[in-house]
């Protein structure tokens, strides 16, 4: 019996040692999306007029609106298939990000005219690009921190 008790004790210690560490899809997604968002955020902040022009130009092309919708829907579905938990911690950001991608993709595919009419209005001012860049950058740093600190 002592060997069984020792084995159970080792299992209990191992469980307690790994209990605080979260691994899995949310961490993997954060490790991918975090650095990507950091780079995009820096790009927007350093080149606001260029990014504003890119948005305006992109919505002039129906095929770009459609393809960005397909890409967004695919990314969102991939995220939600890997992780769709409504947790009370940072991982809920991954779920929300997945749903935002799904909804954004559906809108671009099903209602492309809405995208064409709204995008220039939303991103036309310099403050809009500054806010978008800052939000993307902060979100990227936070996801990178949560993904790579473990």
**What are 126-146's pLDDT values in tens digits?**
799 999 999 999 999 999 999
- Does 111 map to a domain? yes
Least confident of 19-23, 33-37, 45-49, 52-56: 19-23
What range does the domain containing 130 cover?
Answer: 21-148
The contacts of residue 126 (CB under 8 Å, 6+ apart) are 48, 49, 52
| Selected residue with higher pLDDT from 7 and 127 | 127
Nearest to 69 by CA among 119, 23, 19: 119
Note the helical H segments in the chain.
2-19, 25-46, 48-58, 62-82, 92-110, 112-123, 126-148
- Does 8 map to a domain? no
Say if residues 143 and 79 touch (Cβ distance below 8 Å).
no
As for how many domains the chain has, the answer is: 1
> How high does pLDDT run on average in the chain?
88
For the whole prediction, is pTM greater than 0.95? no
Terminal Cα distance for the chain, rounded: 36
pLDDT digits (tens, 9 = 90+) for 92-127: 999 999 999 999 999 999 999 999 998 888 887 779
Question: How much is the pLDDT for 7?
Answer: 57
- Does 32 map to a domain? yes
Question: How much is the pLDDT for 4?
Answer: 60
């Amino acid at each position: 019996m002592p060997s069984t008790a020792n084995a159970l004790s080792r299992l209990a210690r191992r469980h307690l040692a790994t209990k605080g560490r979260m691994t899995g899809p949310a961490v993997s997604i954060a490790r991918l999306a975090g650095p990507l968002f950091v780079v995009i955020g820096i790009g927007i902040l350093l080149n606001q007029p260029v990014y504003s022009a890119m948005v305006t130009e992109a919505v002039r092309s129906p095929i770009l609106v459609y393809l960005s919708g397909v890409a967004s829907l695919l990314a969102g579905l991939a995220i939600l298939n890997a992780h769709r938990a409504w947790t009370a911690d940072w991982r809920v950001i991954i779920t929300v990000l997945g749903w935002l991608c799904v909804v954004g993709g559906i809108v671009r595919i099903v209602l492309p005219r809405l995208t064409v009419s709204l995008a220039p209005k939303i991103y036309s001012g310099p403050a809009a690009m500054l806010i978008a860049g800052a939000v993307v950058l902060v979100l990227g740093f936070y996801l990178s921190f949560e993904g790579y600190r473990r």
